[in-house]
Amino acid sequence: MFIILLVCANFGLPSALLYRKPRAVEAAFWLVFAFTATQGLLASPNPDYLLGYMALAVLYGVLGIDFALSHGVLERSSKLWLHARTSKPARQLTRGHRAGT
């Protein structure tokens, strides 16, 4: 069951662990994971019984990636952000002085 979760959630699972969603959203997803996994546990872990579980895992992965992107995972690791942070501030022009003189 856990392997199916890892395969279907893909990159969304690590991003969901790093960028936590509100507790209500996490609780709702994990409650539905437990409910849909019981069908596979009672019968057999056959993918035919676990289509809802797999679809929910894909949705959880997409939501985890979206939540991480909306909270700035790319902004902190992009080269532009690092360059803007390490570069020196531009010289401010004072009154009466031209740029380049």
pTM to 2 decimal places: 0.67
The per-residue pLDDT for range 3-27, each reduced to its tens digit, is: 888 888 888 888 888 888 899 999 9
Which of 37, 3, 4, 30 shows the shortest CA–CA distance to 16? Answer: 30
Residues near 37 by Cβ (< 8 Å), separated by ≥ 6? 1, 50, 53
Backbone phi, psi, residue 11, to 5°: -75, -10
The per-residue pLDDT for range 41-73, each reduced to its tens digit, is: 888 778 888 888 899 999 999 998 888 888 776
| Burial of residue 91, with CB atoms counted within 10 A of its CB: 0-12 exposed, 13-18 middle, 19 or more buried | exposed
Domains of the chain by residue range: 2-86
Q: How far apart are the first and last CA of the chain?
A: 70
